[in-house]
Amino acid sequence: MKQIIILFFAVIASFSIYTQTYIQDGDRCFDSADYTCAVTNYDNAFKNASGKDKQIAEIKLTRAKWCAEHIKTANQAFSFKNYTTAKDEYQKVLDSNPNDSHAQTQIVKCDNAINPPKLRKATTAELTDIWNNKYGVQSQRRQNLINAGIDPDDAQTRINAGEGKPQEQEKQATYLSVSKSTLYFSYKGEKSEQIEIYSNADIYSVPFAYVPTWCTVDIYTGYFIVTASPNPNYTSRKDYLKVTSGGKEVNINIEQFGRPNPDSQQSTTTTTRIKSREHSTRCFNCPKTHDTWGLTLGYAPKSINNSLMDCAQFGLKAEPLFKYGFGLNTGIILEGYSQNKAIAQLFQDGFNYYAVNVPLHLEYRLNFSKWFNIFPYGGIGFNAITNPNFDDYSLPLTFEYGGGFRISHVQFNIGKSLYLGNLKNEQNFVTYTQSNQKLNVSVSYMF
């Protein structure tokens, strides 16, 4: 008997959990104005609930059905240009669900249709501003023109005829390319894509006539950002936009996947396609780590005043990494020189000379993974050397080269350097080369 009672309450508890889950899912759908989804979840909650939970599910189900019916009525009235009825129906829905952005947008359209604003023709200067996207793009631009008292249809007709086109755009460009020729968006439309512009022309434009109605474009110097609105359909949609600069133009294809169909495995397939295409757009040998700063400790036998000395090094390393494996090797290194041949005595007896080294090297990395890469480097080094009393100083310039490898955050460097001359003495500047570092060994921790 005890086991039956326990089983009974367990079943009741499981139904309560399912009910709460359906209600929560229904609330999310209702808040996003997806009333079909909301009705489905509330109906499931009503079927599995009991007592007070069943009453709550019934109330929510009734409200969701009510909103769905009035949205349908409003859309039908709007399609038949019965804007007064459509506005009343949209307002009823908005009173019940203030989060319904579709109803808010449609009310504004109804008001404009019922009481159309008095619009004027755009001036030539205003047409030029439209060409330069100062009023935004597509539907956003249309509303901005109306707010400014400009007839958007007249402006579009005149722009299609080329009126008001900025003179700068007539300057011919020898090349025009973009960082991405194809864009993919998920059905949620949450991700934005940044497109870099490569052209020798002074300006570029993204004509709003070629921007898909379900996309927005934000223009900046040297690049622009494309954002897609959520796709309400189960099928994907495709379009393209155009970039022009100095008489040249390129097209960028855009595809947005449809929302998941609950009766199929479309969601899994869509996710796989997005990941596959994102993987295919990665550039060759791009850096897989962002650890470009570090502390370095090294040792090198160096030639100072024709005398070979031991050199201890400590400093800050900076290695910004670029595309295709290229990067810089720079930083600031503090050095101490001693005539002692034993490394253990370097810090006990003091140093004969002190120096500051600022390397400026170009390096190329083979990025095998995030945790391992190898690289050669080469470039010049600027040096400032003085004795402990600062009685004298020299400014040697060196040619430095070598290579190394990185495992996780730890990096090892091995290299040499040649003495090119003394910046302090112009007659001795890059007139001959001699060995400066026999061998430089250092270890760095990058973070």
pLDDT in tens, 376-406: 999 999 999 898 888 888 888 888 999 999 9
Q: How many domains does the chain have?
A: 4
CATH number of domain containing 327: 2.40.160
Q: Considering the domain boundaries, does residue 50 fall inside one?
A: yes
What is the rounded average pLDDT for all residues in the chain?
84
CATH of the domain at 205: 2.60.40.1080
With cut-offs at 50, 70 and 90, classify the pLDDT of residue 149.
confident
Structure tokens at 278: 């994102």
For the cut 50, the answer to whether the pLDDT of residue 169 exceeds it is: no
Tell me whether residue 52 is exposed, middle or buried, using C-beta atoms within 10 angstroms of its C-beta: 0 to 12, 13 to 18, 19 or more. exposed
| Shared domain check, 16 and 67 | yes
Of 114, 135, 152, the last residue of a domain is: 114
pLDDT above 70: percentage of residues in the chain? 85
Same domain, 301 and 254: no
What is residue 173's predicted lDDT score, i.e. its pLDDT? 62
The pLDDT score that the predictor gives to residue 262 is 74
Query: Do residues 199 and 334 share a domain?
Result: no
- Same domain assignment for residues 174 and 150: no
Per-residue pLDDT of 208-230, as tens digits, reads 888 998 999 999 999 999 999 99
Average of per-residue pLDDT across 319-338: 89
Distance CA 199, CA 218 (A): 18
* Higher-scoring residue by pLDDT: 152, 358: 358
CA angle 322, 323, 324 (to 5 degrees): 125
Domain match, 200 and 276 both: yes
Note whether 66 and 151 are same-domain residues: no
Report yes or no on 245 lying in a domain. yes
pLDDT of residue 10: 47
Q: Which domain holds residue 214?
A: 167-280
Element (H, E) at 109: helix 101-114
Let me know whether 175 and 251 are in one domain: yes
Residues 98 and 153 in one domain: no
The region that residue 222 occupies, defined by phi over 0 for left and psi between -120 and 50 for alpha, beta otherwise, is left
Same domain, 266 and 310: no
- Asked if residue 430 and residue 307 are part of one domain, the reply reads yes
Distance, CA of 390 to CA of 69 (rounded, Å): 89
Secondary structure (3-state) at 72? helix
pLDDT at 334: 92
> Is residue 287, in this structure, part of any structural domain at all?
no
Residue 92: pLDDT band with limits 50, 70, 90: very high
Which DSSP helix (H) or strand (E) runs through 279? helix 266-280
Choosing from 230, 259, 280, the residue where a domain stops is 280
- Shared-domain flag, residues 190 and 70: no
User: 270 and 171, same structural domain?
Assistant: yes
pLDDT at site 139: 66
Which pTM value belongs to this model? 0.39
Would 389 be classed as within a structural domain?
A: yes
> Within a domain: residue 171?
yes
CB-CB neighbours of 244 under 10 Å: 20
Out of 160, 184, 214, a domain closes at 160
